Structure 1
């Protein structure tokens, strides 16, 4: 399945990662990407997905079905999180296994490196759902090849950060000129540009990698307080930053450091990257 003339079916092509994946794939000579409509998710969940799935098969061509659709807000309706993050990929896996010719299709799911931290996942519905999805597909047998790609925090692109994310909270405070209250910020986190991660995913798939689960890590984390301090300093808004004024989340992970993945195509400085992203989103300096 490596080399040119590859075909991908991208589910969730308008989302944060999906937009970057579409751009990366379309830029590759000989690669083709089919964009699955929102009806695919609905029909698969309703048990009527056979026809729409079959219509997306490319005869004689190996395909990667990339499931970039998902509910990332842990505060969303639990039933919706369960349906989109767990039931949809589980049912899609079964459908592809029943309908695709052997060896023609691979399923690619997306998760978080933090999903395996049970203490944190117990208080985060998004992480818990990704953990359940991984367990469900791991127990599903081997009707087709499946790869699960775990990511760190993403930034960059033309979309604003989610307001419930740390970067989104910084962004809103800077835009609104409001105080930014945070915990002590001792947590170590990796921040990766979304286009670098999209390129890394496609590079992994193009190389016909065999690992079922990979973590796209740089091994170069930054503490959240250092990221926030540098970002607010750049925009001349240090007076808005209140480090240590909030209690950290239950089960928070502080010291995890990951080994650099051989599949990571590129890694940018997170401070410079987040600052550039905010500038591109028209955050001005005071």
Structure 2
């Protein structure tokens, strides 16, 4: 299926990734993006999705329905995580399979490269939900073209980092000039600028990629302790950093290294990128 000359329906357009996706899609010549607004997610979950989905389908026009809506906080209400991360995409898949003309619509879901690590997912409700969602849609038949895109940690843009994530914890400590307690930080992680990932997703879709599951990896990970040390040193707050003062979480993944994805449009130095992001968000050097 050719990916050129397709329009997009974006669900979750105001979120961290959704904001970048909207900008990337709108910047592409000849591509139109429709925003699923007006309580679209709630309508689908409440059983009123038939009309909501039908109103966004355009006869004769190929579409990519990109589901960037999701609960990423593992500490959120488990029922809400299940509803938004698992039940909503499952119902949306079924609705599109029934309502969309054959071959005209593709569904795109977003997940994490860590969702397949069972030990870590068992202690992280977000990762566990993404694993369940992938299993549910994998067993839903072939009524619809579907792609699942697994991401590494995102940074950049104009939004603050989530406070429950590593970057968010660093950000809050630097902003408030408070001590930052962390584990030994030997975990290898990739950090990608959200704009680069949005462009990569658009490139994959416009190129007509057929892979059901892709991982947008650079194969250029950094250890968390090295990232933290460089960031705190730049802001002249190295005395606030306490490496090794906390224990690792259950099932932590340390050494996973991924192959570079052919669909990754670009990658940047994560240290420079995170520092620039924090500066943009008004973190100042002492």
- RMSD over aligned CA atoms reads 0.8
Once the two structures are TM-superposed, the CA of residue 39 in structure 1 deviates from its matched residue by: 1.5
Whether 2:112 is the aligned partner of 1:112: answer yes
Question: Which residues of structure 1 form unaligned runs of 5+?
Answer: none
| Structure 2 equivalent of residue 244 of structure 1 | 244
Q: Secondary structure at the match of 1:278?
A: helix
Q: Secondary structure at the match of 1:23?
A: helix
Once the two structures are TM-superposed, the CA of residue 59 in structure 1 deviates from its matched residue by: 1.4
Alpha-carbon distance in 1 for matches of 2:60, 2:201: 23
Alpha-carbon distance in 2 for matches of 1:84, 1:38: 16
| Structure 1 equivalent of residue 208 of structure 2 | 208
| Structure 2 equivalent of residue 263 of structure 1 | 263
| Structure 1 equivalent of residue 276 of structure 2 | 276
Q: Map residues 63-78 of structure 1 onto 2, 5 A cutoff.
A: 63-78=63-78
| Structure 1 equivalent of residue 174 of structure 2 | 174
Once the two structures are TM-superposed, the CA of residue 191 in structure 1 deviates from its matched residue by: 0.1
Once the two structures are TM-superposed, the CA of residue 212 in structure 1 deviates from its matched residue by: 0.2
Deviations 1:98-142 (A, max 9, x none): 000000100000000000000000000000000000000000000
Whether 2:98 is the aligned partner of 1:89: answer no
Deviations 1:175-231 (A, max 9, x none): 000000000000000000000000000000000000000000000000000000000
Alpha-carbon distance in 2 for matches of 1:61, 1:158: 33
Q: Map residues 38-77 of structure 1 onto 2, 5 A cutoff.
A: 38-77=38-77
Question: Structure 1 segments of 4 or more deviating over 6 A?
Answer: none
Q: Map residues 32-43 of structure 1 onto 2, 5 A cutoff.
A: 32-43=32-43
Q: Secondary structure at the match of 1:181?
A: strand
Q: Secondary structure at the match of 1:251?
A: coil
Once the two structures are TM-superposed, the CA of residue 156 in structure 1 deviates from its matched residue by: 0.2
Once the two structures are TM-superposed, the CA of residue 4 in structure 1 deviates from its matched residue by: 5.0
Once the two structures are TM-superposed, the CA of residue 6 in structure 1 deviates from its matched residue by: 2.1
Once the two structures are TM-superposed, the CA of residue 2 in structure 1 deviates from its matched residue by: 4.0
1:4–1:29 CA contact under 8 A, matched in 2: no
Deviations 1:217-271 (A, max 9, x none): 0000000000000000000000000000000100000000000000000000000
With normalisation by structure 1, the TM-score equals 0.99
2:3–2:209 CA contact under 8 A, matched in 1: no
1:45–1:83 CA contact under 8 A, matched in 2: yes
2:67–2:108 CA contact under 8 A, matched in 1: yes
Alpha-carbon distance in 1 for matches of 2:282, 2:2: 40
2:4–2:207 CA contact under 8 A, matched in 1: no
Deviations 1:13-54 (A, max 9, x none): 000000000000000100000000151101110111001100
The change in CA–CA distance for 1:31 and 1:232 in structure 2 (over 3 A counts) is: same
Alpha-carbon distance in 2 for matches of 1:38, 1:251: 39
